[in-house]
Amino acid sequence: QVQLVESGGGLVQPGGSLRLSCAASGFRRKDLGIGWFRQAPGKEREGVSCLSTNHELTWYADSVKGRFTISRDNAKNMVYLQMNSLKPDDTAVYYCAVQEPVRSWPLPEYDMNYWGKGTPVTVSS
């Protein structure tokens, strides 16, 4: 059974950092696209960052380039999103999602196969 579980969200002051984690289990393929998406109150869900396990590709939204870093630990089946220099505009629920196999790039929000339930991030003083 495929499962994605996010953790690491919380309340942080502007300029602070958080590391989100996504625990992935139940996948049989090695060709996966794993992405982080977010949805702010009153806004549509948008892509933040993604990686391709087979092709060593990564992508970042312009709004987070230079501040966020996506990484993975294959041994632990974990994907991380390190978020630095956080801004109030980063406030959202963050979701981990998988496209299996990878068929489009960057990973589009409308064509993901599996989603986690999300973890909330609030950036406020």
Q: What is the pLDDT of residues 38-53, one digit of tens each?
A: 999 999 999 999 999 8
Is beta strand 119-123 parallel, antiparallel or unpaired with respect to 10-12?
parallel
Rounded CA separation 28/83 (Å)? 29
Chain segment 65-105, per-residue pLDDT in tens: 999 999 999 888 999 999 999 999 999 999 999 999 999 99
Rounded CA separation 48/61 (Å)? 5
30 residue type, one letter: K
Q: Which two tokens stand for residue 87?
A: 């801004």
Contact 41, 61 (CB under 8 A): no
Rounded CA separation 17/25 (Å)? 26
Q: How far is CA 74 from CA 1, 77, 81, 107, in A?
A: 18, 5, 15, 20
Residue 119 has pLDDT above 80, yes or no: yes
Say which DSSP state 105 is in: S
Radius of gyration, CA atoms only, the chain = 14
